[in-house]
Protein backbone atom coordinates (compact mmCIF):
# COMPACT_ATOMS: atom_id res chain seq x y z
CA UNK A 1 0.00 0.00 0.00
CA UNK A 2 1.23 3.41 -0.86
CA UNK A 3 -0.16 6.35 1.08
CA UNK A 4 2.25 8.92 -0.18
CA UNK A 5 0.93 9.68 -3.63
CA UNK A 6 1.07 13.29 -4.58
CA UNK A 7 -0.71 15.13 -7.27
CA UNK A 8 0.24 18.10 -9.23
CA UNK A 9 -2.78 19.78 -10.74
CA UNK A 10 -1.37 23.26 -10.99
CA UNK A 11 -0.19 23.17 -14.56
CA UNK A 12 -1.75 25.74 -16.80
CA UNK A 13 -3.56 27.71 -14.09
CA UNK A 14 -2.37 31.26 -14.77
CA UNK A 15 -3.29 32.70 -11.36
CA UNK A 16 -1.83 29.80 -9.42
CA UNK A 17 1.43 31.56 -8.59
CA UNK A 18 -0.40 33.98 -6.28
CA UNK A 19 -3.42 31.93 -5.30
CA UNK A 20 -4.01 30.67 -1.78
CA UNK A 21 -2.27 27.42 -0.87
CA UNK A 22 -4.71 24.62 -0.08
CA UNK A 23 -3.66 21.28 1.37
CA UNK A 24 -6.01 18.36 0.71
CA UNK A 25 -5.60 15.32 3.00
CA UNK A 26 -7.82 12.58 1.60
CA UNK A 27 -7.16 8.88 0.99
CA UNK A 28 -9.99 8.41 -1.51
CA UNK A 29 -8.21 9.25 -4.71
CA UNK A 30 -11.34 10.05 -6.72
CA UNK A 31 -12.43 12.65 -4.17
CA UNK A 32 -8.92 14.06 -3.76
CA UNK A 33 -8.62 14.46 -7.53
CA UNK A 34 -12.04 16.02 -7.96
CA UNK A 35 -11.45 18.49 -5.10
CA UNK A 36 -7.96 19.34 -6.34
CA UNK A 37 -9.07 19.94 -9.91
CA UNK A 38 -11.99 22.10 -8.88
CA UNK A 39 -10.02 24.27 -6.46
CA UNK A 40 -7.14 24.57 -8.94
CA UNK A 41 -9.66 25.83 -11.51
CA UNK A 42 -10.58 28.51 -8.94
CA UNK A 43 -6.98 29.74 -8.92
CA UNK A 44 -5.86 27.96 -5.76
CA UNK A 45 -2.52 26.20 -5.39
CA UNK A 46 -3.56 22.71 -4.35
CA UNK A 47 -1.40 19.99 -2.82
CA UNK A 48 -2.93 16.62 -2.05
CA UNK A 49 -1.64 13.85 0.18
CA UNK A 50 -3.27 10.55 1.10
CA UNK A 51 -2.52 9.86 4.75
CA UNK A 52 -2.39 11.60 8.09
CA UNK A 53 1.35 11.74 8.66
CA UNK A 54 1.90 13.12 5.16
CA UNK A 55 -0.78 15.71 5.98
CA UNK A 56 1.00 16.85 9.15
CA UNK A 57 4.35 16.99 7.34
CA UNK A 58 2.91 18.87 4.36
CA UNK A 59 1.12 21.38 6.61
CA UNK A 60 4.40 22.18 8.37
CA UNK A 61 6.31 22.43 5.12
CA UNK A 62 3.81 24.29 2.92
CA UNK A 63 2.18 26.56 5.52
CA UNK A 64 -1.16 26.34 3.68
CA UNK A 65 -3.92 28.96 3.86
CA UNK A 66 -6.55 26.22 4.16
CA UNK A 67 -6.51 22.50 4.95
CA UNK A 68 -9.28 20.26 3.62
CA UNK A 69 -9.08 17.23 5.86
CA UNK A 70 -10.84 13.88 5.64
CA UNK A 71 -11.64 12.36 9.05
CA UNK A 72 -11.16 8.69 8.17
CA UNK A 73 -7.55 8.34 7.10
CA UNK A 74 -5.06 5.50 7.21
CA UNK A 75 -2.52 5.85 10.03
CA UNK A 76 -3.19 9.00 12.06
CA UNK A 77 -6.88 9.93 11.76
CA UNK A 78 -8.13 13.35 10.73
CA UNK A 79 -8.95 14.35 14.29
CA UNK A 80 -5.37 13.86 15.42
CA UNK A 81 -4.03 15.44 12.22
CA UNK A 82 -6.13 18.52 12.98
CA UNK A 83 -4.74 18.71 16.52
CA UNK A 84 -1.13 18.32 15.39
CA UNK A 85 -1.47 20.87 12.60
CA UNK A 86 -3.15 23.41 14.88
CA UNK A 87 -0.55 22.86 17.62
CA UNK A 88 2.17 23.86 15.16
CA UNK A 89 0.47 26.87 13.60
CA UNK A 90 -3.19 27.97 13.50
CA UNK A 91 -4.69 27.36 10.06
CA UNK A 92 -8.31 27.14 8.90
CA UNK A 93 -9.47 23.50 8.55
CA UNK A 94 -12.46 22.25 6.60
CA UNK A 95 -13.29 18.70 7.76
CA UNK A 96 -14.82 16.09 5.48
CA UNK A 97 -16.94 13.54 7.33
CA UNK A 98 -18.67 10.36 6.21
CA UNK A 99 -21.88 10.88 8.16
CA UNK A 100 -23.83 13.58 9.98
CA UNK A 101 -23.39 11.76 13.31
CA UNK A 102 -19.64 11.83 12.74
CA UNK A 103 -19.91 15.62 12.40
CA UNK A 104 -21.92 15.69 15.65
CA UNK A 105 -19.19 13.68 17.38
CA UNK A 106 -16.50 16.09 16.18
CA UNK A 107 -18.59 19.10 17.18
CA UNK A 108 -18.98 17.48 20.60
CA UNK A 109 -15.24 17.12 20.94
CA UNK A 110 -14.68 20.76 20.04
CA UNK A 111 -11.86 20.04 17.60
CA UNK A 112 -10.41 23.13 16.00
CA UNK A 113 -11.99 22.79 12.58
CA UNK A 114 -13.57 25.86 10.99
CA UNK A 115 -16.23 24.03 9.06
CA UNK A 116 -17.56 20.55 8.33
CA UNK A 117 -18.98 18.95 5.20
CA UNK A 118 -20.60 15.53 5.10
CA UNK A 119 -19.93 13.29 2.10
CA UNK A 120 -21.24 13.26 -0.52
CA UNK A 121 -21.04 17.02 -1.00
CA UNK A 122 -21.38 19.21 -4.05
CA UNK A 123 -18.20 20.70 -5.44
CA UNK A 124 -19.97 24.03 -5.73
CA UNK A 125 -20.70 24.01 -2.00
CA UNK A 126 -17.10 23.03 -1.27
CA UNK A 127 -15.81 25.92 -3.35
CA UNK A 128 -18.22 28.37 -1.70
CA UNK A 129 -17.26 27.31 1.79
CA UNK A 130 -13.54 27.23 1.01
CA UNK A 131 -13.72 30.75 -0.38
CA UNK A 132 -15.68 31.97 2.65
CA UNK A 133 -13.01 30.55 4.97
CA UNK A 134 -10.20 32.09 2.92
CA UNK A 135 -11.97 35.46 2.77
CA UNK A 136 -12.40 35.45 6.51
CA UNK A 137 -8.76 34.54 7.10
CA UNK A 138 -7.70 37.32 4.74
CA UNK A 139 -9.89 39.83 6.57
CA UNK A 140 -8.44 38.68 9.89
CA UNK A 141 -4.92 39.20 8.53
CA UNK A 142 -5.79 42.66 7.24
CA UNK A 143 -7.44 43.53 10.53
CA UNK A 144 -4.40 42.29 12.44
CA UNK A 145 -2.12 44.41 10.25
CA UNK A 146 -4.29 47.51 10.73
CA UNK A 147 -4.59 46.82 14.41
CA UNK A 148 -0.88 46.56 14.91
CA UNK A 149 -0.46 49.80 12.93
CA UNK A 150 -3.02 51.57 15.11
CA UNK A 151 -3.11 49.45 18.22
CA UNK A 152 -4.39 52.27 20.38
CA UNK A 153 -7.63 52.50 18.36
CA UNK A 154 -8.68 49.15 19.68
CA UNK A 155 -9.49 49.19 23.34
CA UNK A 156 -9.21 45.87 25.09
CA UNK A 157 -12.48 44.24 26.10
CA UNK A 158 -12.70 43.43 29.79
CA UNK A 159 -15.73 41.61 31.13
CA UNK A 160 -15.57 39.92 34.51
CA UNK A 161 -12.23 38.14 34.73
CA UNK A 162 -11.90 37.87 30.95
CA UNK A 163 -9.47 40.20 29.20
CA UNK A 164 -9.47 40.33 25.40
CA UNK A 165 -6.56 42.22 23.87
CA UNK A 166 -7.83 42.87 20.36
CA UNK A 167 -4.64 44.59 19.21
CA UNK A 168 -2.48 41.60 20.10
CA UNK A 169 -5.32 39.10 19.55
CA UNK A 170 -4.69 37.57 22.96
CA UNK A 171 -7.14 36.36 25.55
CA UNK A 172 -6.73 35.62 29.22
CA UNK A 173 -9.06 34.57 31.97
CA UNK A 174 -8.11 35.31 35.60
CA UNK A 175 -4.65 36.17 34.32
CA UNK A 176 -4.16 32.84 32.55
CA UNK A 177 -3.57 32.98 28.78
CA UNK A 178 -5.82 30.92 26.50
CA UNK A 179 -4.68 29.86 23.06
CA UNK A 180 -7.51 30.36 20.59
CA UNK A 181 -7.64 29.72 16.87
CA UNK A 182 -8.30 32.86 14.76
CA UNK A 183 -11.94 31.86 14.29
CA UNK A 184 -12.43 31.13 17.98
CA UNK A 185 -10.97 34.55 18.74
CA UNK A 186 -13.31 36.32 16.31
CA UNK A 187 -16.30 34.48 17.77
CA UNK A 188 -15.29 35.43 21.30
CA UNK A 189 -14.96 39.10 20.28
CA UNK A 190 -18.38 39.00 18.59
CA UNK A 191 -19.96 37.55 21.74
CA UNK A 192 -18.05 39.68 24.24
CA UNK A 193 -18.72 42.93 22.32
CA UNK A 194 -22.37 42.58 23.37
CA UNK A 195 -22.20 40.99 26.81
CA UNK A 196 -25.43 39.66 28.36
CA UNK A 197 -27.08 39.84 24.95
CA UNK A 198 -28.40 36.77 23.17
CA UNK A 199 -26.87 36.51 19.72
CA UNK A 200 -28.50 34.10 17.29
CA UNK A 201 -26.43 31.47 15.53
CA UNK A 202 -27.41 33.08 12.24
CA UNK A 203 -26.09 36.48 13.34
CA UNK A 204 -22.86 34.92 14.58
CA UNK A 205 -22.48 33.05 11.29
CA UNK A 206 -22.95 36.28 9.37
CA UNK A 207 -20.60 38.29 11.60
CA UNK A 208 -17.82 35.79 12.13
CA UNK A 209 -18.11 33.42 9.18
CA UNK A 210 -19.51 35.80 6.59
CA UNK A 211 -22.32 33.41 5.71
CA UNK A 212 -25.81 34.40 4.71
CA UNK A 213 -27.48 31.01 5.00
CA UNK A 214 -28.11 29.08 8.19
CA UNK A 215 -26.76 25.72 7.02
CA UNK A 216 -23.67 25.96 9.16
CA UNK A 217 -25.09 26.44 12.62
CA UNK A 218 -23.29 23.32 13.86
CA UNK A 219 -20.11 25.19 13.13
CA UNK A 220 -21.10 27.85 15.67
CA UNK A 221 -21.88 25.15 18.25
CA UNK A 222 -18.52 23.53 17.67
CA UNK A 223 -16.64 26.78 18.25
CA UNK A 224 -18.63 27.66 21.36
CA UNK A 225 -17.71 24.21 22.65
CA UNK A 226 -14.04 24.93 21.99
CA UNK A 227 -14.25 28.32 23.73
CA UNK A 228 -15.84 26.69 26.77
CA UNK A 229 -13.13 24.05 26.85
CA UNK A 230 -10.38 26.66 26.69
CA UNK A 231 -11.89 29.43 28.82
CA UNK A 232 -14.29 27.66 31.17
CA UNK A 233 -17.81 26.28 30.82
CA UNK A 234 -19.44 29.18 32.69
CA UNK A 235 -18.63 31.98 30.23
CA UNK A 236 -21.14 31.49 27.46
CA UNK A 237 -24.79 30.71 28.12
CA UNK A 238 -26.78 28.59 25.68
CA UNK A 239 -30.24 29.92 24.91
CA UNK A 240 -31.93 26.86 23.51
CA UNK A 241 -33.31 27.23 20.04
CA UNK A 242 -31.93 30.78 19.77
CA UNK A 243 -28.22 31.16 20.25
CA UNK A 244 -25.62 32.21 22.79
CA UNK A 245 -24.92 34.99 25.28
CA UNK A 246 -21.58 36.03 26.76
CA UNK A 247 -22.18 36.17 30.52
CA UNK A 248 -19.12 35.63 32.69
CA UNK A 249 -19.89 35.31 36.39
CA UNK A 250 -19.64 38.66 38.18
CA UNK A 251 -16.18 39.18 39.70
CA UNK A 252 -17.62 40.85 42.81
The smaller minimum CB distance to Ca ion, of residues 123 and 239, is found at 123
Output the smallest distance, CB 49 to Ca ion, in A: 12
Binding-site member from 7, 33, 72, 163 for Ca ion (CB under 5 A): 72
Binding-site member from 25, 50, 67, 70 for Ca ion (CB under 5 A): 70
Stretch binding Ca ion (CB under 5 A), from 22-30, 48-56, 133-141, 202-210: 22-30
* Binding residues with Ca ion: total (CB under 5 A): 3
Q: Contact letters (x/-) for Ca ion, 24-63, by CB under 5 A?
A: ---x------------------------------------
Beta carbons of 207 and 219 less than 8 angstroms apart: no
Distance CA 250, CA 247 (A): 8
Stretch binding Ca ion (CB under 5 A), from 65-73, 74-82, 182-190, 193-201: 65-73
Query: What is the dihedral sign for C-alpha 33, 34, 35, 38?
Result: positive
Q: Is 76 in the site for Ca ion (CB under 5 A)?
A: no
Beta carbons of 9 and 40 less than 8 angstroms apart: yes
Closest CA to 180 of 218, 226, 142, 215: 226
Residue 235 phi/psi, 5-degree rounding, is: -85, -40
Amino acid sequence: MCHAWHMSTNHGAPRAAEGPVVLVVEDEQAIALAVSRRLTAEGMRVHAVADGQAGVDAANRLRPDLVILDVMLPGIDGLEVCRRIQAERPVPVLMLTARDDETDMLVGLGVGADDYMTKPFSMRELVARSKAILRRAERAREAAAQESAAATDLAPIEVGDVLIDRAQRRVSRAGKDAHLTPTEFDLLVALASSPKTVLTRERLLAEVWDWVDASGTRTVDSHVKALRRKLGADLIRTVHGVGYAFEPPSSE
